[in-house]
């Protein structure tokens, strides 16, 4: 039996040499894994900068501008019964939805984060209004998939739990050294991720600690002996070793829905610190601690974790973490049943 056609529309950027490359984990893993159950076509934006993650998929179209982006979508209309999966709401994907709506295509929108908060962090006071306009139109007629009930009504959407966890993440757990406080951040260096605010806080903290950052540094310059950039683009098992070499993970984001890095840290039995902006992600998970976004509160939280480390790890054994296999299976079933 032939596989169903699935067109994934994403605002992320992809570079091309002999193969296709991206920086975002989802841009790599979701199309690759869904390709086992569908004939997947990816439409994304062209990057002039070499990206790091090789995408093991051939049917990829990368657009130089919005006109070629929409043209690639028009060309997929030859696939009469194709399903369209739009990932996140941005100006590019908004215009894509309008085109798909006009031609009455079968459209799913996958909401991965709170766009209101992201747009506010990026554009200031006008950001939420910009997002609201696009959000109301895109979600009015499309089928919605979310990873957090607060992103859309749970009665009108399908809930999935994104994950990169497989057996490697859950095996051969390493006991951390507590001789020195070693904090890890894995993520992008963007305003909405709160990393720049975190660096300011670290600069004001007097306690002896190291902060390692796994992320694309680019031209960003920061002079503090406590902070170490250790590259980006790591995959398991190398990323697992990085988690194991630290004793606390921190996620300073202003907005998140279901951050996969949290589950990765908990899988390796490393406690997590977040700020109160995203305290909703704690839910019933053990080992996540909420700090205020200031030096004294962060110091207090770090000290509590280090002084109670063994008991915290015991509580973390009760966590029931989502796996990548479960995520892709649930997402596939939603798309197939459309």
Q: What is the CATH number of the domain that holds 100?
A: 3.40.50.2000
Name the residue with higher pLDDT: 41 or 53: 41
Instruction: Give the tens place of pLDDT for each residue, 71-127.
Output: 999 999 987 789 999 999 999 999 999 999 999 999 999 988 777 777 887 788 888
Structural domain tally of the chain? Answer: 2
How long, in residues, is the chain?
Answer: 338
State the Cα angle at 195 between 254 and 273, rounded to 5°: 70
Cβ atoms of residues 289 and 301 within 8 Å: yes
Half-sphere exposure of 16 (CA within 13 A, CB side): 11
95 and 191 belong to one structural domain: no
85 and 184 belong to one structural domain: no
Q: Is the pLDDT of residue 152 over 90?
A: no
Q: Which two tokens stand for residue 236?
A: 């398991």
312 and 329 belong to one structural domain: no
10 and 66 belong to one structural domain: yes
How far apart are alpha carbons 210 and 322 in whole angstroms?
30
Q: Residue 1 — pLDDT band, cuts 50, 70, 90?
A: low
Instruction: Give the tens place of pLDDT for each residue, 199-228.
Output: 999 999 989 999 999 988 877 888 888 999
28 and 137 belong to one structural domain: yes
The string of DSSP letters for 4-52 reads: EEEEEEEEEEEEESSSEEES-HHHHHHHHHHTTTEEEEEEEEE-SS--S
State the Cα angle at 143 between 137 and 149, rounded to 5°: 90
How far apart are alpha carbons 278 and 89 in whole angstroms?
20
Is residue 236 left, alpha or beta, with left meaning phi > 0 and alpha meaning psi from -120 to 50?
beta
9 and 157 belong to one structural domain: yes
- φ/ψ of 249, rounded to 5, equals -110, 145
Q: What is the pLDDT, as a whole number, of residue 40? A: 97
101 and 219 belong to one structural domain: no
Residue carrying structure tokens 């966590």: 319
70 and 100 belong to one structural domain: yes
Domain that holds residue 16: 4-163+325-336
19 and 48 belong to one structural domain: yes
Q: What is the pLDDT, as a whole number, of residue 151? A: 66
> How many distinct helices (H) and strands (E) make up the chain?
12, 15
Q: With a threshold of 0.85, does the pTM exceed it? A: yes
């Amino acid at each position: 039996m032939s596989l169903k056609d699935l067109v994934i529309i994403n605002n992320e950027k992809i570079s091309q040499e002999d193969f296709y490359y991206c920086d975002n984990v989802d841009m790599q893993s979701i199309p690759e894994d869904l390709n086992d159950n569908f004939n997947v076509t990816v439409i994304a934006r062209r990057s002039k900068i070499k990206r790091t993650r090789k995408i093991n998929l051939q049917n990829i179209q990368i657009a130089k501008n919005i006109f070629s982006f929409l043209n690639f979508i028009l060309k997929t209309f030859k696939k009469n019964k194709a399903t369209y999966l739009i990932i996140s709401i941005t100006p590019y994907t908004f215009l894509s939805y309008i085109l798909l709506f006009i031609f009455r295509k079968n459209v799913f929108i996958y909401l991965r984060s709170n766009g209101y908060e992201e747009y506010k962090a990026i554009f200031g006071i006008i950001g939420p209004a910009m997002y609201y306009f696009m959000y109301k139109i895109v979600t009015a007629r499309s089928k919605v998939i979310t990873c957090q009930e607060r992103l859309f009504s749970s009665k009108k959407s399908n809930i999935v739990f994104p994950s990169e966890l497989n057996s490697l993440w859950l095996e051969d757990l390493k006991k951390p050294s507590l001789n020195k406080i070693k904090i890890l951040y894995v993520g992008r260096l963007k305003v909405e991720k709160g990393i720049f605010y975190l660096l300011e806080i670290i600069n004001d903290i007097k306690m002896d600690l190291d902060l390692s950052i796994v992320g694309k540094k680019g031209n960003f310059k920061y002079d503090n002996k406590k902070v170490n950039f250790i590259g980006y683009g790591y995959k398991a098992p190398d990323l697992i070793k990085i988690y194991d070499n630290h004793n606390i993970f921190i996620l300073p984001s202003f907005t998140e829905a279901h951050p996969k890095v949290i589950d990765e840290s908990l899988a390796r039995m490393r406690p997590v610190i977040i700020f109160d902006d995203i305290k909703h992600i704690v839910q019933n998970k053990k080992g996540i601690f909420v700090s205020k976004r200031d030096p004294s509160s962060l110091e207090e939280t770090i000290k509590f974790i280090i002084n109670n480390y063994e008991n915290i790890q015991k509580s973390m054994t009760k966590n029931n973490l989502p796996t990548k296999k479960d995520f892709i299976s649930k997402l596939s079933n939603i798309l197939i049943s459309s």
